[in-house]
């Protein structure tokens, strides 16, 4: 059974000017997301600047998200690391903190072999009862989970249940779904490929776009699941210019900037991430306006 079906938000971590986590604003953002149809909260992922959170902050953010969500939708915690031992620790702590599942990115920098990936994920799966979503994003980690590897893991580890596929390689995604034959759920990890991957059997998306457009992102998936492929496709295509600008610099620089433009108190980025270049920021602002997002000084209004 899928951890969730629909649109999960890879939620930002709002911060005060001094760089500490703004839990009051996190609660407000989570409530807004759920009220606008988001089907899952993914906390402490790439968009949440997990790589610059301390382990204490990481745990606190997960506990806070679980508390704020209060059972309304699943909470998936990012618990990956390039050290297997650390990934085990983070995942076990997330289980104690009440997460419903773990999203575990491939170990970065080490450039593990496929055999190493199997050992890495198997060791984590052995130490937790949480459902595990593999996170395949070779553009950031330098390592690709080959289709055969993902399926081997799903067939040998009962709690490895899904993959967030963000390689951009549709052919490999198709091969993975063919080999899986139903043993592995897929979520699009790229907002511009929601409909293409759902056509191959994906059950939803873990989305950056959903931070700024939760209802629209939810509807892309919901329309497809309802069988209205044409409406889903139209919503997908309409969002493409904004999606492109949300990645005109490395994530989460643009999306956090966009949240501030919308009136959220998203706060600054933690170094080594820096503020957006002015030309990129202006392009993002233009795309948001053209998409129908209302930029405000306080509060948030999303036009549909």
13-60 pLDDT, tens digit per residue, is 999 999 999 999 999 999 999 999 999 999 999 999 999 999 999 999
- Which of the residues 17, 23, 109, 164 is marked catalytic? 164
- Which of the residues 23, 121, 135, 291 is marked catalytic? 135
Name the percent of the chain lying above pLDDT 90: 96
Active site residue 164: yes
Token readout for 186 is 């897929």
Mean pLDDT to the nearest integer, 76-88:
97
Mean pLDDT to the nearest integer, 176-181:
96
- Residue 59's SS3 state is helix
Give ∠ CA 293-294-299 in degrees, rounded to 5: 115
My answer on whether omega of the bond before 166 falls inside 30° of 0, hence cis, is: no
Active site residue 135: yes
Token readout for 221 is 């998936």
For residue 196, what pLDDT is reported? Answer: 98
How far CA 152 is from CA of 118, 186, 205, 227, in Å, comes to: 8, 15, 23, 31
Token readout for 58 is 């990481």
Token readout for 26 is 């996190």
For residue 296, what pLDDT is reported? Answer: 75
How far CA 82 is from CA of 64, 142, 173, 269, in Å, comes to: 25, 11, 24, 22
């Amino acid at each position: 059974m899928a951890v969730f079906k629909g649109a999960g938000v890879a939620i930002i971590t709002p911060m005060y000017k001094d760089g500490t986590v703004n839990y009051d604003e996190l609660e407000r953002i989570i409530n807004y997301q759920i009220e606008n149809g988001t089907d899952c909260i993914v906390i402490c992922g790439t968009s949440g600047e997990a790589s610059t959170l301390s382990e204490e902050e990481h745990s606190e953010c997960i506990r806070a998200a679980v508390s704020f969500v209060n059972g309304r939708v699943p909470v998936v915690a990012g618990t990956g690391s390039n050290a297997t031992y650390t990934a085990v620790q983070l995942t076990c702590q997330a289980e104690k903190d009440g997460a419903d599942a773990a999203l575990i990115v491939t170990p970065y920098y080490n450039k593990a072999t496929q055999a190493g990936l199997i050992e890495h994920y198997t060791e984590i799966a052995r130490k937790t009862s949480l459902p595990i979503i593999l996170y395949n994003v070779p553009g950031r980690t330098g390592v690709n989970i080959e289709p055969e590897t993902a399926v081997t893991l799903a067939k040998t580890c009962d709690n490895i249940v899904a993959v967030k596929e963000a390689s951009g390689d549709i052919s490999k995604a198709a091969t993975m779904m063919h080999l899986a034959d139903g043993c592995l759920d897929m979520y699009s990890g790229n907002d511009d490929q929601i409909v293409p991957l759902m056509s191959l059997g994906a059950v939803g998306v873990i989305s950056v776009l959903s931070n700024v457009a939760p209802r629209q992102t939810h509807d892309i998936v919901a329309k497809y699941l309802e069988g209205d492929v044409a409406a889903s496709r139209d919503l997908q295509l309409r969002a493409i210019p904004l999606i492109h600008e949300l990645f005109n610099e490395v994530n989460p620089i643009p999306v956090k900037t966009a949240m501030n433009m919308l009136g959220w108190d998203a706060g600054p980025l933690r170094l080594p991430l820096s503020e957006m270049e002015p030309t990129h920021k202006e392009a993002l602002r233009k795309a948001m306006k053209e998409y129908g997002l209302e930029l405000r000084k306080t509060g948030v209004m999303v036009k549909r």
